[in-house]
Amino acid sequence: MIAALTGFMASGKTTFGRAAAEHLGCRFIDLDELITERYGTIKEIFESHGEDFFREMESRCLMDALSLDGNIVLALGGGTVLNRKNCELLQKKADTIIWLDTSFEIILSELKNADRPLVNGRSLDQIKDLYEKRKPLYRQIADTVVSIDSFDYSIAVNDLSDAIAGFLKN
């Protein structure tokens, strides 16, 4: 069983996904971590090879992650669903695709602690613009939406665990 988590940067895919996976006894895989293990940090990849190269490596790692067996919670990158082939593959191989629809207020507070190539150098308005532009993509591919609008960590983990629980395989 693969539960894929989509959503904007800093929406909590890694934090809540890891906690929900632990709670449910699933394996947790973070696509960005997989890319980093193989090719270096996301920042280094963007700086040395550019975004197109990063997207190719992202697709490669996605393909590998989606071919694994077992109960897996897979946190995607915020831009994984920009690629149509990635979306097709996700729709074919993931048992459920969950959108973490996290409020912009929470995302902003989380982004302050992070170093992300697509955020650095962008104004608040530009980030908000990207957030609004990406939303329809997440909405379109997801079969379940988990809304996160509270800073209470445990509510988000519970809601996400509930959304995944029905898909678990023995």
Instruction: State how far the alpha carbon of 71 is from the alpha carbons of 4, 17, 144, in Å.
Output: 11, 13, 18
CA separation for the pair 84, 46 (Å, rounded): 21
Q: Which is nearer to ligand S3P, 23 or 116 (CB)?
A: 116
The contacts found for 39-45 with CB under 8 angstroms, 24 or more apart, are 42/116, 42/117, 43/115, 43/117
Instruction: Give the closest residue to 107 by CA, choosing from 156, 35, 58, 63.
Output: 156
In the complex, what is the shortest distance from the CB of residue 131 to ligand S3P, in angstroms, rounded to a whole number? 10
In the complex, what is the shortest distance from the CB of residue 100 to ligand S3P, in angstroms, rounded to a whole number? 10
Binding site for ligand S3P (CB under 6 A): 9-10, 13, 32, 42, 77-79, 116-118
Q: Which is nearer to ligand S3P, 40 or 117 (CB)?
A: 117
In the complex, what is the shortest distance from the CB of residue 161 to ligand S3P, in angstroms, rounded to a whole number? 20
Q: Which is nearer to ligand S3P, 60 or 116 (CB)?
A: 116
